[in-house]
Amino acid sequence: MTDATECDMAVPRFEPLTTDRLRIRTVVSGDVDALHARRNDVEAAAFQAWELPYAREDAAELIETMVRLDGHPPGDGWLQLAVDDVRSGEPLGDLAVHFTFDGRCTEIGYTFASPYWGNGFATEAATALAAWLFETAGVSRVSASMHPDNAASIRVAERIGMEFEGRTKNSYWVGDENSDDVLYAMTPDSWRAWTQRGRSPVDTVELVPIDDSNLEAVEALATHRSQAHLVASVAGSFADAFVVMTDPDLRVTPWARAVVADSKIAGFVMVREPSPERPEGYLWRLLIDRMHQRRGIGTRVVDAVVAHCASMGASALTVSWAQGPGSPEPMYLGCGFVPTGEIDDGEVVARLEW
């Protein structure tokens, strides 16, 4: 067992962090019962690195080891942190930090008791921890790995600014259970870009032609990885457009535009324009880059597409979407699209009339 005086002092001592709702601190002896209960929470333990039942003796040993560190993270080892309600002091969850390369790189994990899910606590706590790691500890990388089916943890990683880096096959074992692992990470530069991105509603949205001056920026547009199954990539959309344009039986010329929001390329849209054969417009593709989401841009694009199709004599616009976490369904319903009852290739078909 390591004494605090023997710890690698390359990492600064961890001092409590306070957010609007949370207090993040080093663990104390009195945290054993809360940790033991949380690790035996069946929902919280799903996809985690321990087997059930989790013994109280193991919780006590872990806490004792962490108490001996006295807030001094080892340069190569783990630091366990408790997360409490800042007002009531009620224990909500915990954070784990694995330091490597003499404290210069880290992997983080987060576990909250299932009754507290859905409140954004994990995102709030992990955001504060990442800020401390980059700004105070000066690390060069913060990463997280999780089971590919752990959708909630993946969304937390994305919400704090991490990007998908890869998936390793048959790489993780918990007891006799073997699974793949997905890896997310961020660097100081990517973290700063994420935290400094625009978050307020945009003032202007324009749909501009795609040409040599903006093609590279359009091709670089991407959603969060967890949304990839819901929204086709720009490259995939270009490929589909090529097939359609070269098929004499389809007779469709896609109308593709870059979405420029407050002078920055923020998205991509592709429309099948109305024609005598197909009098309704069809919103074929709409992608808003991960750095510009939740700013009302998608709704503004729909308005611009409606105006364009109306100018060509159309009185309706159709669209289809996949359902599930991260689906654009709420946005389309908010724009006035009404599901037709038709399902096309597993997607809900809806129409907006004017």
Alpha-carbon distance 229 to 90, whole Å?
A: 38
Is the residue at 240 inside a domain? yes
For residue 3 the two structure tokens come to: 């004494």
Quote the number of domains for the chain. 2
- pLDDT tens per residue, range 103-128: 999 999 999 999 999 999 999 999 99
| Boundary (domain end) residue, out of 151, 167, 194 | 194
Is the residue at 200 inside a domain? no
Cα-only R_g, the chain: 24
Nearest to 318 by CA among 264, 279, 268, 345: 279
Same domain, 28 and 61: yes
Same domain, 312 and 259: yes
Q: Can you say how many angstroms the Cα of residue 308 is from the centroid of all Cα atoms in its chain?
A: 32
Same domain, 147 and 34: yes
CATH number of the domain within which 77 lies: 3.40.630.30
Is the residue at 199 inside a domain? no
pTM for this entry: 0.91
Range 305-324 burial, b when 16+ CB lie within 10 A, else e = bbebbeeeebebbbbbbbee
pLDDT per residue, tens digit, the chain (354 aa), is 444 444 444 799 999 999 999 999 999 999 999 999 999 999 999 999 999 999 999 999 999 999 999 999 999 999 999 999 999 999 999 999 999 999 999 999 999 999 999 999 999 999 999 999 999 999 999 999 999 999 999 999 999 999 999 999 999 999 999 999 999 999 999 999 999 999 999 999 999 999 999 999 999 999 999 999 999 999 999 998 888 766 666 667 789 999 999 999 999 999 999 988 889 999 999 999 999 999 999 999 999 999 999 999 999 999 999 998 889 999 999 999 999 999 999 999 999 999
Is the residue at 146 inside a domain? yes
Tell me the residue type at 304.
Answer: A
Domain of residue 334 covers 205-353
Same domain, 188 and 126: yes
